[in-house]
A and B are shown apart, each in its own frame.
Chain A
Amino acid sequence: MKIMVAVKRVVDYAVKIRIKPDKSGVETQNVKMSMNPFCEIALEEALKIKESGLAKEVVAVTMGPSNCVDTLRTGLAMGADRGIHVEAARDLVPLSVAKVLKKLVEVENPGFLILGKQAIDDDCNQTGQMIAALLGWPQGTFASKVVLDKEKQVATVDREVDGGLETLCLDLPAVITTDLRLNQPRYATLPNIMKAKSKPIKRYTPEELNVEIKSDLEVVQVTEPPKRKAGVILSSVDELIDKLKNEAHVI
């Protein structure tokens, strides 16, 4: 079985973001970029499945401008066998990403598709659900545990839902989106980083895949969230109880 993993290049999670003065978006020039943390978890899970002998190949896919290849190389250094880069000049909405992925699935024919549950830049949390719909595959979103049964061709998935953990059984092929607790992604070692340089990356354009890229969403503006007023530092528990009771009227 082949596993396909989608990875996205985003502003590194540790970077404090800056909003552009013209409010058109968030500054990404001269900012440290990394693989989306949820995508790292997705790739780690695919690699673990491969190492347990349940899959033969892991293919990492990314979309975006040419510098997204860096993220793909990171994925190859972590252990993906090969990469696919779909060139796109601008940000793609999740629906477009899902349409491109669908075409790639038709070309590559993977038995399992793993994505992060959301990217930490736009926080959309949509792509996995959408590609599952377009393929007519079952979905296991927000996964914190995935167990594959090759004999029965099913995956048992624990999902992090409001109010606990939900367990589902999905027929393969299926789409999984990962939550933070699924695993601890590995670091790429130096020898593997060197090896990754010679791993193959195939390039496509959306036109070659016959996908029309459109966006029905226009960014009007990006702004700072309202700041809370700084409060007061109190000196004692008595004072706190008094404030809560007589000033805030919340207890």
Chain B
Amino acid sequence: ASTLVLAEHEGGSIKAQSLSAVVAANSLSQDNPVSLLLAGSGSSLHQASEKAATCHPSISQVLVADSEEFAYPLAEPWAKLIQLVQLKGDYSHVIATSDSFGKNILPRAAALLDVSPVTDVVDINGPRQFISSSLQLEYYTPHAHFSYIPDTGIRYGYQETGQALHQKYFGVRSTSTSWLLVKGHRALILNCVEVCRPIYAGNALCTVRYTGANPCMLTVRSTSFPVPPISVDSKSGGASISEVDLSTLDEDSVGKSRFIKLSSQDTGRPDLGSAKIVVTGGRALKSAENFKMIEKLAEKLGAAVGATRAAVDAGFVPNDLQVGQTGKIVAPELYMAFGVSGAIQHLAGMKDSKIIVAVNKDSDAPIFQVADYGLVGDLFEVIPELLEKLPEKK
């Protein structure tokens, strides 16, 4: 196995969630060298690639694509880049984080490679082996030979291309040893991946088995693959860094989209996706003015600010603060929800938090069913009291 991780960088460093994708790659297989793909242009790209080379022991290679095309995260050139790198490196897996960057690009790349990707993976069951020596339902065509393995639905086979017998698997193909010829009968050892992902806004978990050709492409939820603290010996030299040869990058669909601008609110608070504490306000805050109480509390705790869809729709805060299935998925150590009823969509975005605190006037609010600590009360009294009594942040 070998894995390509599509990484994001910012200000000369790898984003924390991209390391989660490396952690996810580790759980696929122990013997799994990871190649990290970084694209962009200019000095911050090269700074980031040097840091990437020593940031995780399982990264064996850092691939750098330096071009103006990648100055912005446009799906068209990036998907082409993944296709180019995959065709050269023949990775068994390609992983990106399932944020707006990965979800935009990875499916496009998958279509170019003619494989089905899996979105929002929260768990990887590791490599599973299927062993079968009794094959049925074989059929032949002049150019190809397919077999079905009973009960699994997996089929494999090989195709003749030109003169040579070209081995091509139509089932799971992982390494060259994944099938054997035994005394003229084919025995098959298949390595395949089972992953788990939420469906129906997190109301059900679906385990799927990927049985397609290489590569198996996944977007993973970074909150489900936490990065353990790693002591990296910088003297060990780390991974090799090499430039991607972009001379064959197909210009076909590149240039048909142009970046105009990114409007964001820079608040100086920690990023919602990676903050240790998140303070969230719901519709019960009643106005944008009142929502400032949430911001004050967040400041005191060194926390990020979140909001429910209702609060965003009511215009209290911009939509990039929205926590939920259609917004951000967060899993901080402490999640404090004020005036949040606990709609299913919202719970899907925060129920993996370690400690959940809920403050709501309505004692029947569904948020209390997931809260570790609940306080039935008026947030307009509770928040000022918290502001007064909470210790200053460390």
Contact = CB atoms under 8 A, between A and B. Distances in A.
A169 B326 contact: no
Given A120-B200, A228-B370, A250 B257 contact: no
Helix, strand, loop or mixed for chain B's interface? mixed
B368 A233 contact: yes
A216 interface: yes
B354 A250 contact: yes
Interface residues of A, number: 78
Nearest to A160: B319
Interface stretch (A60-68, A127-135, A187-195, A199-207): A127-135
Contact of A232 (B114, B118, B257, B374): B374
Nearest to B74: A168
Interface string A154-173: 00100111111111111100
Given A156-B260, A244-B334, A248-B355, A162 B79 contact: no
Contact of B107 (A129, A165, A179): A129
Interface stretch (B35-43, B158-166, B203-211, B223-231): B203-211
A33 to B, nearest CB: 13
B199, B211, B382: most-surrounded residue (chain A CB, <10 A): B199
Given A216-B212, A250-B333, A11 B200 contact: yes
A164 B374 contact: no
Given A141-B104, A169-B257, A123 B119 contact: yes
Interface residues of B, number: 90
Contacts, number: 245
Contacts of A231: 356, 368, 370-374
A96 to B, nearest CB: 8
Interface in B380-394: 382, 385-386, 389-391
B319 A181 contact: yes
A168 to B, nearest CB: 5
Given A95-B111, A129-B75, A168-B258, A123 B373 contact: no
Contacts of B118: 217
A225 B206 contact: no
Given A125-B119, A217-B211, A241-B390, A169 B258 contact: yes
B53 to A, nearest CB: 26
A139 interface: yes
Contact of B104 (A142, A170, A241): A142
B201 interface: yes
A215 interface: yes
A120 B324 CA distance: 13
B309 to A, nearest CB: 8
B66 interface: no
Interface in A66-100: 93-95, 98
Given A161-B101, A218-B211, A248-B372, A126 B356 contact: no
Interface of B: 74-76, 79, 99-101, 103-112, 114-120, 153, 194, 197-213, 252-253, 256-265, 271, 273, 277, 301, 309, 313, 318-320, 325-326, 328, 333-334, 351, 354-357, 363, 368-376, 382, 385-386, 389-391
14 contacts: A123-B120, A124-B119, A125-B120, A127-B107, A133-B111, A136-B252, A139-B76, A142-B100, A164-B265, A166-B261, A232-B372, A240-B373, A251-B277, A251-B334
Given A129-B75, A231-B374, 17 more contacts: A98-B111, A141-B104, A142-B104, A163-B262, A165-B262, A166-B262, A168-B259, A170-B256, A217-B116, A220-B208, A223-B205, A230-B369, A233-B368, A233-B376, A238-B389, A240-B373, A243-B373
